[in-house]
Amino acid sequence: MNVLLERDTPLVVKGEKAYINRVNVDGEQLSITTDKGVERLLSFAELMQLYSSGEVIFGPGAETNRSPKKKRDNCVVKVFLSENEQKDVQYRLGYIRAISQQDLTSLKPEEERTTETISHAESINDENPPSFTTIFRWLRRLRAGKGQLHALIPKHKKKGNRTPRLKKKVEDHMEEAIHKYFLSRPSKKMKHVYEWYLEVAIDDDPTLKEDDFPTYKTFCRRIHKIANYTKFMSQEGFLSAQNNYPSGSPVRQAKFSLAAAEADHTPICSCPC
């Protein structure tokens, strides 16, 4: 998390409300004053350690999207790592040190890299160690970040668009329409269910616009995601679902009724016995 450290930045230190009084960028220090008037001088390293242990919580407005490279006289942006992020960074840094020299500018010989990587994986009981390609990618990121450890923070959670596309009311009405009219007896056609869904949703909240609703194609795709067994049980009943889907999947019928007899090549005795 990128935090803007400047005057009057709110924070909570071990349950006590406080704010930053002044920031010494060159000395890597800052002064914190509590609501009771107690003032304390902390280094950036001490503040990061308190944050990682959960003893410091930054107030609203402290988090920023600014780059940590930009600095001003009484203002600096620092990257604070949570406990899980520190574990991930140390995990990646251990493998980077196993394949590279101490200055991280050159790699160890190939045989030594292999030996060191295997030894490091055994020392931390890592059953699925990363490949050399992955370790090289981590090393490139660390070099691009000029050795700053925040360059090794995993960014999987930031990938893709995780913003909900549909409002909660729209989702609730859609689930209600599917369960009430499609997953019921007698079942309605998907087109009729979709029309009923739009009508009820608009009547419930007139402020909703056309762009707030999913298309008919998206609505059908949501229905198709429902398991066949669930749809069959809701529409035809439990016993019919058990007969057609005994294990939750369709029963495959034999293509040939005499398939079992054809597999038996024993000659048939034609004489009367």
Of residues 216, 164, 211, the one with CA closest to residue 192: 216
User: Where do the structural domains in the chain lie, given as residue ranges?
Assistant: 2-80, 84-155, 168-244
Which structure tokens are listed for 229?
């067994």
pLDDT greater than 70 at residue 18: yes
With pLDDT > 90 as the criterion, what percentage of the chain qualifies?
0
pLDDT greater than 80 at residue 75: no
Q: Compare 155 and 125 and report the one with higher pLDDT.
A: 125
Per-residue pLDDT at 192: 85
Regarding pTM above 0.75, the answer is no
Mean model confidence pLDDT for the chain:
74
pLDDT greater than 80 at residue 175: yes
pLDDT greater than 50 at residue 217: yes
Given pLDDT bands bounded at 50, 70 and 90, which one contains residue 260? very low
pLDDT greater than 50 at residue 262: no
